[in-house]
Amino acid sequence: MKKFSITALVLAAGLVVSGCGSVKETTSSSNSEKTAQVKKIIVGTGTQFPNICFIDEKGKLTGYDVELIREIDKRLPDYEFEFKTMEFSNLLLSLETKKIDLIAHQMEVNEERQKKFLFNNEPYNVFPLKVVVRQDNNDIKSVEDLKGKKVIVSATSNSAVLIDKYNKENGNKINIVYAGQGADDTKTQLKTGRVDATISTPFAVDFLNKAADAQQKVVGPALSNSKVYFLLRKDEEKLKSRVDEAVKEIKKDGTLTKLSTKWLGADYTVQE
């Protein structure tokens, strides 16, 4: 059974961890089989996305995307998946410069990403993005009420792409600001009233309210219900095919639904 390793990039401690997409050779212990090659895949993910990829109270990297990668790892003996964590805004550049081989961070399709990278074919989640405000805010009921308001999003996220597109199409009347310290910064600024809203998911809001008394609520209809995929480099067609094979199996036997229900509170694996 393969040993799953986690590479944590902890900025506060000043620890720098390097990753590589090398090929690891392992020797079978049964019947003097020939040495088999297992290709190591460095998976880029984050630590501040509630229920998706985060550090739990025991200091373990876990969440829906993380545990799905671990399940894929079990089903692809010719690959070994190793995590490398970083800020979300660094993921695309790290993939482009070959510091990582695959991104697992609820990546939705957009035109800019399609030009540079390769999405696998089999979606593993549906990502409902909604307007999020403080629980005591009764003035903002939908995206139409964000005119003249401050909305905080993470740079390069699909939330940022979505609200920027809406803003441009509606007179640029929303003041969009960008989070400097991931989810914690967004949570703090919203809770203290420094910003008026953010764009997030119901399951992220539920987690933050329970774990950190974030005092948030979702309002209005979903701005999008995008399917999400893993993201790879253009030259990783073989890896893409193998990942798709594994995801199909995980869907078929019900494992994906169980993971979604456990981590997200409902089955978000099918389009609403």
Q: Based on the structure, what is the number of domains in the chain?
A: 2
Are both 176 and 202 inside the same structural domain? yes
Whole-angstrom distance, CA of residue 190 vs CA of residue 173: 19
Residues 131-158: pLDDT tens digits? 999 999 999 999 999 999 999 998 888 8
272 residues of the chain, pLDDT tens digit each: 454 544 443 333 333 333 333 333 333 344 434 346 899 999 999 998 889 999 999 999 999 999 999 999 999 999 999 999 999 989 999 999 999 999 999 998 988 899 999 999 999 999 889 999 999 999 999 999 999 999 999 888 889 989 999 999 999 999 999 998 655 689 999 999 999 999 999 988 988 899 889 999 999 999 998 899 999 999 999 999 999 999 999 999 999 999 999 999 889 987 54
Residues 36 and 135 in one domain: no
Please check whether residues 77 and 211 belong to one and the same domain.
Answer: no
Does residue 270 lie within any of the structural domains? no
**Cβ-contact 81, 41 below 8 angstroms:** yes
Same domain, 203 and 132: yes
Place of tokens 């253009």: 234
Q: How far is CA 219 from CA 38, 41, 137, in A?
A: 47, 39, 10
- Say how many CA atoms lie within 13 Å of 272 toward its Cβ: 12
Q: Are 112 and 208 found together in one domain?
A: no
Asked whether residue 51 falls in the same domain as residue 151, the answer is no
* 220 and 248 fall within a common domain: no
* Cα distances (angstroms) measured from residue 91 to each of 16, 39, 84: 15, 21, 10
Phi/psi of residue 62, nearest 5 degrees: -155, -170
CA dihedral 134, 129, 166, 114 (to 10 degrees): 140
